[in-house]
Structure 1
Amino acid sequence: MVSDFETQLNELLERAKNTKSPVNATFGETNINEYNKPSEVWMNDVQIFYENYLKTHALADRIKPLLFHRKYSELVSCLTSISKDRKFIDKMNGIQEVAVPKYLAKGIPQYDVFISHANRDKEDFVEELYQAINKLGINIFYDKDVIDWGDNWKNKILEGTKKSEFAIIVISKNFFDREWTEKELAEFLSRQNRNGQKLILPILHNITLTQLQEQYPSVADIQAIESKKYTCDQIAIMFARQLIKRLKSI
């Protein structure tokens, strides 16, 4: 979401593109006051903008005399520079940098979600689900994208289970009794039980709750959804809501 600060800054720069620089002498039949009026109004608005937002910016000491001497072109140049100052913009948007000690940084999740699934379910469901979540700009551990040529895929997967905020587990008959799907599930169950924080988000894909209870009784008490009842876009939005709730609680 764009803040009032960014909105006003962008509007001032956009207006500057269509405003002629002021002149100091009459020329031809043109009335100089009328000619200079748009640029004068623009500089008045920059003065207000400066008073509201820019007094703490590194260019503040340069902008103040430019406003006093009505240096239009130089003011445009300063505002252009400020529009590229991402650190200051983030500050005005209320986004603060948090210094994290190196010994804690390793514990910060690298991925928003790990999609655990059987390869046989990729074609008819998982790939579409991945694309729907990815469209929302969510950082996903998805084996096809994360594991590169030459990687130790077992180590990569285990690393992903440790560095993901959530795990969407697509549970189907294809998921049952597969060494690595069960290993992933065991890792996530262990983390969830150890941390006491919601982690596992099960999706039942072409199986019933009874089948889940028979195969994985430890997962049966976790609220699940059924793939047949929702589109992939709907599931992606549901996950985004879970992620937002988590971020708000931090």
Structure 2
Amino acid sequence: MNHKDYRSETSEEGFRYDVFISHAFEDKDEVARPLAIALKNGGLKVWYDEFELKIGDNLRRKIDRGLADTRFGVIVLSRSFFEKDWPRYEFDCIVAQSISGDYTILPIWHNVTKQEVLKYSPSLADRVARSTAAYTVEEIAKEICSVIKGL
């Protein structure tokens, strides 16, 4: 994609995507993929690995570009997420951008307790989150669409 094509796809605020979905591979089938599809069907521009990564891509560069080109970061927190390096990398980038005010974190708890989230990140445990134990992926997607479109 050339520079002109890229700029034509950005929003007025300069963001190419509405939301970046960070997740562990183990949560892909149950949460991440259905969420990405529901958000896309809800009219959002979604950075999700299966939508964006192509054979031969430099993984870190594509993720960095996606993170830089997005305003909202959905983080699917799970035990698998806590154990993996790539989700930790994405999480660190999202937190750094949220501290600078360039990013809003939208956490989803998947089969984890508040104590587990607190152990992983005390500041993240204090954010309002949605849990897959209490809400369906479709309900969570609908709320995320409402939050993003409402701004």
TM-score range, shorter-chain basis?
0.7 to 0.9
Per-residue deviation, 1:218 = 2.5
**3-state SS of 1:182 partner:** helix
* Partner AA of 1:200 in structure 2: I
How many residues get paired? 141
Q: Does 1:189 find its partner at 2:98? A: no
Q: Does 1:137 find its partner at 2:43? A: yes
Task: Write out aligned runs for 1:69-84 (5 A).
Answer: none
Q: Does 1:230 find its partner at 2:135? A: yes
Runs of 4+ in 1 over 2 A off after TM superposition: none
Q: Does 1:245 find its partner at 2:150? A: yes
Any unmatched runs of 5+ in structure 2? Answer: 1-10
State which structure, 1 or 2, has the greater radius of gyration over its C-alpha atoms.
Answer: 1
* Partner AA of 2:62 in structure 1: K
- TM normalised by structure 1 equals 0.54
Paired residues of 2:76 and 2:109 also in contact (CA < 8 A)? yes
Once residues 171 and 244 of structure 1 are traced to their aligned partners in structure 2, the CA distance between those partners, rounded to angstroms, is 23
**3-state SS of 1:159 partner:** helix
* Partner AA of 2:73 in structure 1: A
1:200 to 99, 105, 127: 105
Please state which structure has a larger fraction of its residues in strand.
2
Once residues 198 and 183 of structure 1 are traced to their aligned partners in structure 2, the CA distance between those partners, rounded to angstroms, is 16
Per-residue deviation, 1:180 = 1.2
Q: CA RMSD, aligned part only?
A: 1.8
Once residues 138 and 205 of structure 1 are traced to their aligned partners in structure 2, the CA distance between those partners, rounded to angstroms, is 22
Paired residues of 2:94 and 2:103 also in contact (CA < 8 A)? no
Q: Which of structures 1 and 2 has the larger relative contact order (alpha carbons within 8 angstroms, sep 6+)?
A: 2
Match of 1:58 in 2: none
- TM normalised by structure 2 equals 0.87
